[in-house]
Structures are given as structure tokens and as C-alpha cells.
């Protein structure tokens, strides 16, 4: 793990500097092109006598310099690590040639290679350039003495009747007074250059490390988001075996992780707990507090306490170690399937919206208690409402009602009620989706400021009939199924198939099961309509019956087995179970 990490760091580093090398090569080439233009200008001016440098000297030195100055442009196309040395060699050799012939004019240009080499952010490179500059430029002084343009400073007293006489004394003088001081100046510039290079390199490396650190934090936040969302129940339909209710919930955090949460779980076969909560603040601190609150709430509910006692207990537990002084608002309800009652308690949370079957959504007004986590020993009150089949309840956090548009207008309670009511009699998932869509439409391009979380619980309308299965009851059962399915909003196309299926299955029960009692139920769940037959007759699993041969000639045909075959074809799922000494056959069909 560590090895791998170190390797990655080295890679990004070298990647970083290799890319810079490529840019520096191009930069040097550009500088040399500019310099060659200047040289050409001087050459031309000299030709026209503006400068008085002997033409022969210009005609020899200029072409050579121009070649050296333009070669980097050629080499900089190659992305090899050795190219930078070749390029710097060209620069130094080019300047060296000028220095040999027009020494006194180019002395300042001696510093150029060192300055250019700084762009590589490499001390090794600067050292290399210094070494080459020192050697070649110093040598150029001696060459200039013999063959270069007449330089009074270098050749002071060496003029005898038109001929240069270079004495050993002159050589010594020039070495002492020109070569050495210039070499030392280059050395001085070199120290400045290496400092610049070292500091820049350090900064770049730090930047690379920081961005890597930043990426690591981002990656960890992604994992945190995943952990947080996966902690909330998020597989729907959540209870495929429970026909009496349908539930859906979503959390949409404003940042990577949020402080909102919902929860729902069966305390036992007969009790369903629903939780909606909002931790103060946002981001990582809120998310951590949320995790604790969620666990405490769930374990308190599972210990069998009533909602008010749960909130009181969790409040004290949260206050105990709450150094960050955060708090949670929470609405907790526990539904009893036997009594059809929802008992609830509220710790400073928004009032949920409730709709009675066939009515409109209204807020469930109930004086809330104090928030959780702020003060010890708070008492909460328990409220109670009845949720009959067909009734529904919508829980949410203030991220929904306090969503703001670009003009800072609030979405508000009225818009929420309107959105809920206009959604119509649809599944919890569709209600949540249509409210979310409405809020998003309202918010427009304004940024999402707060987490947005909602939960919808719908007690499904119950359609059940119990009969003594005889041919006489057949019509009653079929009429019941047809009415119930129509009421559930099953479209005509699917209706015909449900009718046929009901006819086939129930006629089988009547004819063969010897049952004394049969229940027929139906409902809609998770986009599927279901029809269930429960009878106390002899065990019989129709799904195991082999399919009839639908290609046999007429004389071998028998309509037996055709019924189940039709049902299997027309339904999406046919499930059989032998439960409590009863045949339970469930047919399901998707409504697309």
C-alpha cells in the first residue's frame, strides 16, 4: 500500500516536470528565435554601415550563430529528456561563437543561458549550463584575442604596426582581469538561479501533493456519501410481502454528505416505525451526528418504548456527549397494523401532511416538543391519529419547504400542499418524485442550499372477499374482483387478463380443491396489480402443472390445463405457497 503510494507520487512528480520540460524547451526556442531576429537586424545595419564591425567578421559569425539559434526550434518538437541538453548546448555554443568574434558587444548575453535554464526547475540543469558556459565563454575570450573584432580592453597595448602581438603577459592580464571576474559573476548568477529553481520546484511539488491530498479527501467524501445513503433503507419496494402499505423515501443532500435522514422499519410483524429527522448544520459534522442519532432512535424504538419515551431517551443520550452543541429535529411515528393507529411524537420537526382516503392533504397540527440534543430531561407528548386503508402521510425536512428560488422566495407550505394534492392518487414513489420535480421547477437555477428529504407512507386500500367456494359464489367473486380492480385503477387492457385469470383460478378451486373457505384479495403495489387466492382445500400447486401441448392435432386436444397455462401467460408472476394449512396463490401483473 505504502510502496504503491510512493510510486504514484513519484509518477505525478515526474509527469509534472516532464510536462514543464516540454514547455521550457519551447520557451527557449522562442527566445532564441527572437534573439536571431535581433542578430539579423544588427547584421543588416552593419552591412549598411550603421555599425562599424568588420563585415568579414559578421559574415562568418552571424550564419553560424543563426544556425545555433534556430536549431532549438527544430529540436523542441521531440519529447525526449535529452533534448533539453541539446537545446541548451546550441544556445551556449551560439553565444560562444558571437563572443569569439564580437566579444565586447555580447558580454551581457553570457548570462542568458543560465537565466533560460531556470525554466527547467532543475538544479542539475543549471549546474550543467554553468559548467558549459564557464568553459566555452572563457575560451571565447582567448579566441577573441587572436581572431575577434578589435577589442581595446582586451588588446590594450597589443597594437604594433597593424599586427596583433599577443604576449604571455597580455594573456595573464586578461585571464586575471577579464576571464576570472566574468567567471565569478556567472557563478554569482548561478547561485541566484539555483535558489529560484529550488524554491519553484518545491512550490510545484507542494502543489502536486496538495492536489493529491485534495483528491484523496474527495474520494473519501464519495465513500462517506455512499456509506450514508446505504445506511438509510433504500431498496424499494421495501416490504414486498406486506400488502397493507407501501412506503417510499428519498434523501438528496446539498453537499456530499448531509444531516437529514429518514428511517423506517418493522418493529415487529404488527408495528412499523417511521422517522424523519434533520441535524443542525450540514456536511461532515452533521453527517456524523446523524449516524449516531439514527442508531440511537432505532435501538430505542426496538426496545419497545412509546414515541414520547423514545425521544426523551434519545435526547438524554445525545445531550450527554454533545461537545459540538449540535441538535436534531425529529418526527417519530409508530403504526399499529392491528388498531390502524399511528402514535407519534415530535421534537421540533415540521408537521407532516396527511390525506384521508379521497380527501386532500392537510398538515397534521400538533404542538412539537423541544429539539433533541440541547437540554436534558425534556418531556415529549404523544399524539395519535388513525390511518385507515387508503390514507397516507408525507414526512419531509425543511429543505423542501425552505427551498429558495433565484429571488430568494421560499417554496413554502402552500406550494407543498398544492404539489401533494395535484399529484393525485398515485404510489408513494410517484408522490415523492412529483414533489421533488415541483421543488426543482420552483428553484430553477438557484443552488440547492439545504438537504431535501421526504418519506411517504400509504396504507393501501384493502379489497378482500371471503366465500364458500361453490359454482354459485363464482359470480360474486368475479364481480368483486372486477369492481376492486376498477377501483384500483387497473386499465381495461390488463383488466381482461385479470378477469380471465380470476375465472381460471377460482373455477379450479371450486372444482378440485374441496375447500370450505376461500379468500380473494387484490391490490396495487410497486407498479404491479396483485390478486391472491387463499383456500383451505387439499394442497395443490398449479405452477407445477406441465404446460399443455398447444400444437397437438384437434382430436388429441383437451382444454384441461389450458386455464393455468393462460394464467401463466397473461400474468408476470404466479407464486404458490402452502402456508398455515392453506393454498396461497398470488398473481402479479405489471402495469406499464
Q: Which stretch binds other proteins (CB under 8 A): 182-190, 242-250, 403-411, 502-510?
A: 502-510
Element (H, E) at 525: strand 518-525
Within 423-466, residue ranges assigned H as helices are 428-443
Q: Which residues contact 224 (CB under 8 A, 6 or more apart)?
A: 256, 257, 284, 287
The yes or no reply on residue 268 touching other proteins (CB under 8 A) is no
- Distance, in Å, from the CA atom of 441 to the CA atom of 36, rounded to the nearest integer, reads 63
Among 503, 528, 582, 584, binds other proteins (CB under 8 A): 503
Among 566, 576, 582, 584, binds other proteins (CB under 8 A): 566
CB of 476 to other proteins, least distance (A): 11
DSSP string covering 307-350: HHHHHHHHHHHHHHT-TT---EEEEEEEEETTTTEEEEEEESPP
Q: Which stretch binds other proteins (CB under 8 A): 93-101, 169-177, 334-342, 554-562?
A: 554-562
The yes or no reply on residue 358 touching other proteins (CB under 8 A) is no
- Distance, in Å, from the CA atom of 429 to the CA atom of 61, rounded to the nearest integer, reads 84
Among 3, 358, 551, 592, binds other proteins (CB under 8 A): 551
CB of 553 to other proteins, least distance (A): 7
- For residue 371, the Cα-to-chain-centroid distance in whole angstroms is 32
The yes or no reply on residue 537 touching other proteins (CB under 8 A) is no
Q: Which residues contact 371 (CB under 8 A, 6 or more apart)?
A: 280, 327, 328, 329, 330, 347, 348
Are residues 114 and 189 in contact, defined by beta-carbon separation less than 8 angstroms? Answer: yes
Q: Which residues contact 307 (CB under 8 A, 6 or more apart)?
A: 332, 333, 334, 343, 344, 345, 380, 382
The yes or no reply on residue 244 touching other proteins (CB under 8 A) is no
- Distance, in Å, from the CA atom of 164 to the CA atom of 167, rounded to the nearest integer, reads 9
Among 56, 235, 338, 559, binds other proteins (CB under 8 A): 559
Please tell me the total number of residues recorded for the chain in this structure: 592
**Burial group, residue 542, by CB count within 10 angstroms (0-12, 13-18, 19+):** buried
If the CB atoms of residues 1 and 471 are measured against other proteins, the closer one turns out to be 471
Q: How many CB atoms lie within 10 A of CB 118?
A: 20
If the CB atoms of residues 305 and 494 are measured against other proteins, the closer one turns out to be 494
The yes or no reply on residue 592 touching other proteins (CB under 8 A) is no
If the CB atoms of residues 447 and 553 are measured against other proteins, the closer one turns out to be 553
If the CB atoms of residues 407 and 550 are measured against other proteins, the closer one turns out to be 550
Among 163, 320, 475, 544, binds other proteins (CB under 8 A): 475
Are residues 350 and 315 in contact, defined by beta-carbon separation less than 8 angstroms? Answer: no
CB of 461 to other proteins, least distance (A): 25
If the CB atoms of residues 274 and 564 are measured against other proteins, the closer one turns out to be 564
The yes or no reply on residue 507 touching other proteins (CB under 8 A) is yes
If the CB atoms of residues 458 and 497 are measured against other proteins, the closer one turns out to be 497
Q: Which stretch binds other proteins (CB under 8 A): 41-49, 84-92, 274-282, 474-482?
A: 474-482
The yes or no reply on residue 494 touching other proteins (CB under 8 A) is no
If the CB atoms of residues 320 and 558 are measured against other proteins, the closer one turns out to be 558
Total residues interacting with other proteins, rule: CB under 8 A: 28
The yes or no reply on residue 540 touching other proteins (CB under 8 A) is no
- Distance, in Å, from the CA atom of 389 to the CA atom of 340, rounded to the nearest integer, reads 8
Q: Which stretch binds other proteins (CB under 8 A): 83-91, 318-326, 525-533, 553-561?
A: 553-561
Are residues 465 and 475 in contact, defined by beta-carbon separation less than 8 angstroms? Answer: no
The yes or no reply on residue 418 touching other proteins (CB under 8 A) is no
Are residues 337 and 272 in contact, defined by beta-carbon separation less than 8 angstroms? Answer: yes
The yes or no reply on residue 465 touching other proteins (CB under 8 A) is no
Element (H, E) at 288: helix 283-302
Q: Give, as ranges, the residues between 83 and 112 that touch other proteins (CB under 8 A).
A: none
CB of 573 to other proteins, least distance (A): 17
Among 31, 474, 584, 591, binds other proteins (CB under 8 A): 474
Are residues 299 and 313 in contact, defined by beta-carbon separation less than 8 angstroms? Answer: no
**Contact residues: other proteins, CB under 8 A:** 471, 474-475, 478, 496-497, 499-500, 503-504, 506-507, 548, 550-555, 557-559, 562-563, 565-566, 569-570
Amino acid at each position: 500500500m505504502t510502496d504503491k503510494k510512493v510510486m504514484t507520487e513519484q509518477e505525478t512528480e515526474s509527469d509534472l516536470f516532464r510536462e514543464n520540460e516540454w514547455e521550457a524547451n519551447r520557451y527557449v526556442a522562442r527566445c532564441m528565435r527572437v534573439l536571431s531576429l535581433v542578430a539579423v537586424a544588427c547584421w543588416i545595419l552593419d552591412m549598411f554601415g550603421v555599425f562599424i564591425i568588420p563585415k568579414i567578421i559578421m559574415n562568418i559569425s552571424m550564419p553560424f550563430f543563426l544556425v545555433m539559434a534556430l536549431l532549438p526550434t527544430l529540436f523542441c518538437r521531440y519529447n525526449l529528456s535529452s533534448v533539453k541538453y541539446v537545446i541548451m548546448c546550441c544556445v551556449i555554443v551560439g553565444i560562444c561563437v558571437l563572443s569569439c568574434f564580437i566579444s565586447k558587444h555580447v558580454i551581457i548575453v553570457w548570462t542568458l543561458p543560465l537565466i533560460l535554464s531556470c525554466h527547467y526547475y532543475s538544479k542539475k540543469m543549471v549546474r550543467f549550463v554553468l559548467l558549459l558556459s564557464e568553459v566555452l565563454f572563457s575560451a571565447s575570450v582567448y579566441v577573441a584575442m587572436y581572431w575577434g573584432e578589435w577589442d581595446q580592453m582586451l588588446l590594450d597595448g597589443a597594437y604594433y604596426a597593424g599586427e596583433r602581438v599577443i604576449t604571455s603577459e597580455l594573456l595573464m592580464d586578461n585571464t586575471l582581469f577579464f576571464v576570472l571576474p566574468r567567471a565569478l559573476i556567472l557563478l554569482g548568477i548561478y547561485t541566484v538561479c539555483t535558489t529560484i529553481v529550488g524554491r519553484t520546484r518545491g512550490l510545484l511539488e507542494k502543489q502536486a501533493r496538495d492536489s493529491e491530498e485534495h483528491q484523496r479527501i474527495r474520494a473519501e467524501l464519495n465513500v462517506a456519501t455512499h456509506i450514508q445513503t446505504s445506511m438509510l433503507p433504500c431498496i424499494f419496494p421495501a416490504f414486498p410481502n406486506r400488502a397493507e402499505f407501501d412506503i417510499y423515501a428519498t434523501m438528496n443532500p446539498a453537499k456530499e454528505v448531509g444531516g437529514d435522514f429518514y428511517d423506517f422499519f418493522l418493529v415487529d410483524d404488527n408495528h412499523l416505525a417511521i422517522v424523519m429527522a434533520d441535524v443542525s448544520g450540514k456536511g461532515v459534522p452533521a453527517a456524523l451526528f446523524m449516524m449516531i442519532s439514527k442508531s440511537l432512535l432505532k435501538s430505542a424504538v426496538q426496545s419497545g418504548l412509546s414515541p414520547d419515551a423514545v425521544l426523551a431517551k434519545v435526547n438524554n443520550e445525545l445531550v450527554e456527549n454533545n461537545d459540538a452543541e449540535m441538535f436534531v429535529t425529529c418526527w417519530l411515528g409508530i403504526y399499529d397494523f392491528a388498531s390502524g393507529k399511528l402514535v407519534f411524537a415530535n421534537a421540533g420537526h415540521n408537521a407532516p401532511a396527511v390525506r384521508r382516503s379521497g380527501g386532500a392533504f392537510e398538515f397534521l397540527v400538533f404542538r412539537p416538543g423541544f429539539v433533541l440534543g440541547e437540554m436534558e430531561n425534556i418531556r415529549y407528548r404523544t399524539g395519535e391519529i388513525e390511518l385507515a386503508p387508503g390514507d397516507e402521510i408525507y414526512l419531509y425536512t425543511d429543505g423542501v419547504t425552505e427551498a429558495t428560488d433565484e429571488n430568494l422566495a421560499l417554496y413554502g407550505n402552500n406550494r407543498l400542499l398544492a404539489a401533494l394534492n395535484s399529484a393525485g392518487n398515485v404510489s408513494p414513489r410517484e408522490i415523492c418524485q412529483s414533489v421533488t420535480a415541483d421543488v426543482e421547477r420552483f428553484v430553477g437555477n438557484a443552488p440547492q442550499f439545504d438537504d431535501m428529504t421526504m418519506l411517504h407512507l400509504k396504507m393501501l386500500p384493502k379489497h378482500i372477499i371471503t366465500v364458500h367456494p361453490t359454482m354459485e359464489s363464482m359470480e360474486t367473486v368475479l364481480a368483486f374482483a372486477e369492481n376492486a380492480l376498477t377501483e384500483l385503477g387497473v386499465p381495461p387492457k390488463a383488466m381482461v387478463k385479470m378477469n380471465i385469470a380470476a375465472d381460471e383460478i377460482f373455477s379450479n378451486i371450486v372444482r378440485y380443491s374441496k375447500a370450505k373457505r376461500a379468500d380473494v384479495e387484490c391490490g396495487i403495489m410497486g407498479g404491479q396489480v396483485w390478486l391472491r387466492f387463499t383456500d383451505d382445500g387439499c394442497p395443490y400447486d398449479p405452477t407445477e402443472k406441465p404446460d399443455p401441448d398447444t400444437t397437438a392435432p384437434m382430436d388429441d386436444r383437451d382444454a384441461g390445463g389450458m386455464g393455468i397455462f393462460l394464467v401463466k401467460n397473461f400474468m408476470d408472476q404466479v407464486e404458490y405457497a402452502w402456508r398455515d394449512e392453506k393454498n396461497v396463490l398470488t398473481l402479479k401483473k405489471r402495469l406499464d
